[in-house]
Amino acid sequence: MEKKLAAWGYEVVVAENGNAALQILQSDDPPRLALLDWIMPDLEGVEVCRIVRRKKEEPYTYIILLTSLQRDQDIITGMEAGADDYITKPFKHHELRLRLRAGRRIIELQNELLTARDMFRTKASRDYLTGLWNHGEIVEILTRELSRAKRESSCVAVIMADIDLFKKINDTHGHLAGDVVLRSAARKMHSMMRSYDFIGRYGGEEFLVILPECNLEYAYAFAERLRLSVGCDSIDTPEGVIPITLSFGVAASGNTQLQDVYSLVNAADKALYRAKENGRNRVEVAPFDGAMT
């Protein structure tokens, strides 16, 4: 059978018993098609099938059971264990080849469905213009991070960032140039994040940055780095070079009054408006039990 499968173009991995088959099927890169004999040493094929299906892992492995058992009840048992198909022995090689071809087609269709699912997930959670998390997703991420911080008695800091005088940019240079400015600012800020930080487009020209396990002092320093990095270079657009600056508001969950999403974001938003009122292109922080003002 190994020679036949190789001749049909399959890359074959042989398992000498049920335990070896299970290890292969639970590896990081399992075969997408599996032929399991029902009766094997150590662990029967139908039990291997049950264990694999119990995990419900992706990518899916299409399993064909080979068996000399021909009673209807045996066939039902095999299919209920999670087998996708079965062949009773003795069988003809062309029949096996056709069954494998059908299995491969199903795997190809599943791959297409998984690709489409991932694409729709991305569209549902990402901002179409900047590629950052969208409003709903970044708020949901903050909700999860706050819950985790409470369990671990740690802190979460947030930064509200806003492009200064963005309406003037749109009015002067046009909305297409404004889109380039938004994408460029988003890309620059995203490039400065740690692997476990988050940034999303909160709305319009506003961005929300989430910094897990960060206190107010660190978040303030990080916001300053963002401000200097984004504002140090003008942005080249189809309508010409446009200089930009950003204003920032910072808050942290360690404050006894800032323990939920609304109060934390609201505090950062108020700090952002103070930055606007105090001349823009600056960082302001929400009060932190008197530690910083």
Can 205 be counted among the known catalytic residues? yes
Residue 87 sits in the same domain as residue 195: no
Instruction: Give the residue-averaged pLDDT of 270-287.
Output: 95
Q: Has residue 290 been placed in a domain?
A: no
Domain harbouring 25, CATH code: 3.40.50.2300
Residue-level pLDDT at 291: 42
Q: Which residue has the higher pLDDT, 94 or 272?
A: 272
Helix residue spans in the chain (DSSP H) = 2-7, 18-25, 45-55, 72-80, 93-125, 135-152, 166-173, 175-191, 216-231, 261-277
Q: Which of 90, 123, 156 is the last residue of a domain?
A: 123
Q: Which of 80, 96, 123 is the last residue of a domain?
A: 123
At residue 157, does pLDDT exceed 90? yes
CB count within 10 Å of CB 233 equals 12
- Cβ-proximal residues to 250 (8 Å cutoff; 6+ apart), any chain: 157, 158, 159, 160, 216, 219, 220, 223, 268, 271, 283, 284, 285, 286
| 189-234 per-position pLDDT tens digit | 999 999 999 999 999 999 999 999 999 999 999 999 999 999 988 9
87-97 pLDDT tens trace? 888 888 888 89
Average pLDDT of the residues in 122-147: 92
- If asked whether residues 177 and 281 sit together in one domain, one would say yes
Number of separate domains in the chain: 2
Q: What angle do CA 200, 204, 207 make, to 5 degrees?
A: 30
What pLDDT score does 112 carry?
A: 86
Whole-model pTM: value is 0.64
